[in-house]
Amino acid sequence: MTQPTLSGPWLAPAKLNLFLYITGRRPDGYHDLQTLFQFIDCCDQLYFALNQAGEISLNSDLDFPAEDNLVVKAACLLQQHCHVKQGVSITLEKRLPMGGGIGGGSSNAATTLLVLNQLWQCQLNLEQLAALGLQLGADLPIFIHGHSAFAEGVGEQLQNVNPEEKWYVVLHPNVHVSTPSVFKHPELPRNTPKRNWNELKNSDWHNDCQEIVAKVYPEVAQALGWLLEYAPSRMTGTGSCVFAAFDTEREALAVLNKRPKNLTGFVCKSCNQSPLHQQLNQIKNIQ
């Protein structure tokens, strides 16, 4: 791993939902979930340059206003919460597909909170940062937590687990799936029975959102069907990315190289400790 400096590059890793069950609907409209998060070593990269003017800015190739980006929202939230007078210019190098269910936007925001907590010397602990992050999205706590986890609630109640680390082929069908539209769909299952981790870890895994997304987005159904020829395939999160596990990088690369031309994708290794937290630990050891 490249030796990190305080300015960057800092990693914002993707995640996979190895299973996702919807166990109920809450009065506030959110859904109760049971899911298994595991990180993968495919990451966006962020750079941070502090300024004394208190201004927060974002440089990226994204084609929507910077103020709508979770990175800027995260920096502003931390700045206000901790009464920080410094500002920061953030550069985001985007590698992860958007709208793919692998958590890129949430991971970018979590990396921003974790790194600025160090650079601005806010001295918040992980629980405090996770509570801040939850204001921006249900996936932020897992990226702040930094370890593979069995999650409940809306995804913020985390129990450390260590699923087997494997090689994955991840395919992106080049469609953007709207998470709110999936959770509003009338045919979405919302009553999967709750089970504890000991029951779930030895069961066949499934994603309750997969059937609806495949029905609405035929490109996702096609990707699932093609990958199924080589290994059991599932969708991650609310889609659109689909994945399958392999024992070796060589096997995974061989499958990826056969993919249809309308599918983009990559091979990655899963990891139970977030690549970002590995970087943060390196900095601590140096200091």
User: Which residues, other chains included, contact 38 with Cβ-Cβ below 8 Å and sequence gap of 6+?
Assistant: 15, 16, 18, 148, 163, 165, 270, 271, 272
C-beta neighbour count of 19 within 10 angstroms? 19
- Asked about 94 being catalytic, the answer comes back as no
Of the residues 15, 44, 166, 208, only one is catalytic, namely: 15
Smallest Cα–Cα separation from 154: which of 74, 237, 98, 234? 237
C-beta neighbour count of 253 within 10 angstroms? 15
Of the residues 44, 139, 166, 208, only one is catalytic, namely: 139
- Asked about 73 being catalytic, the answer comes back as no
Strands (DSSP E) found in 97-156: 149-152
Give the end-to-end CA distance of the chain in Å, rounded to a whole number: 18
Quick one: CA torsion of 98, 182, 41, 226, rounded to 10 degrees?
-90
Active site amino acids: 15, 139
